[in-house]
Amino acid sequence: MSIIILNTTIQADIHKVFDLARDIDLHQRSTSKTNEKAIAGRISGLIELNETVTWRAKHLGSYQTHTSKIVEMKKPYQFTDVMLKGRFRSFKHQHIFREEGKNTIMTDILQFESPLGIIGQLFNYFFLKNYMKRFLLKRNEMIKNAAENNKINS
């Protein structure tokens, strides 16, 4: 299993950052390079507890779908999504928010496992973990920019 932990300091209110992190429309803008689109479940606005979203995106040269469900939410401090259907053997993404002075610290804890046994483990180690980290960093940059500057295009 691969684990990625990222902390992003954002100069904005925790409620604003929390809402931006679960904004389907902002997520789609942050993933324009992979042409990621919400195609089923919650397809726009703020995703809530027990809601699902199915994404379609081009990753690694082919279109893939990934269905996630929000299985835990404590506004504005955390929410967790897990994969219901997709290419991963397992996929869990915890989004944690805490106030530090006038800043919000947004923490991502992404745990995932590829299928295909040892081949999947090698793929994770040599490529996928860095690919997923770059993907999250781009998304977090968009959230930070939107929260601090009220800009959602970048």
Q: Which pLDDT does position 70 carry in this prediction?
A: 98
pLDDT band at 154 (very low <50, low <70, confident <90, very high): very low
- Note the pLDDT tens digit of each residue in 27-40: 999 888 888 999 99
- C-alpha to C-alpha distance for 43 and 87, rounded to whole angstroms: 20
Q: Are 111 and 3 spatial neighbours (Cβ–Cβ below 8 Å)?
A: yes
Average pLDDT of the segment spanning 90-111: 97
- C-alpha to C-alpha distance for 144 and 21, rounded to whole angstroms: 10
Q: Are 138 and 132 spatial neighbours (Cβ–Cβ below 8 Å)?
A: no
For the beta sheet containing 52-59, the strands, ordered from the edge strand earlier in sequence to the opposite edge, are: 2-10, 103-113, 90-100, 78-85, 62-74, 52-59, 37-41
Q: Which pLDDT does position 151 carry in this prediction?
A: 59
In the chain, the percentage of residues whose pLDDT exceeds 90 is: 75
Per-residue pLDDT at 116 exceeds 90: no
Q: Are 57 and 37 spatial neighbours (Cβ–Cβ below 8 Å)?
A: yes
Q: Is 63 left (phi over 0), alpha (psi -120 to 50) or beta?
A: beta
Average pLDDT of the segment spanning 103-121: 90
Q: Which pLDDT does position 126 carry in this prediction?
A: 81
Per-residue pLDDT at 60 exceeds 60: yes
**Dihedral angle of Cα 66, 43, 144, 5, to the nearest 10 degrees:** -20
Per-residue pLDDT at 3 exceeds 80: yes
Average pLDDT of the segment spanning 114-131: 84
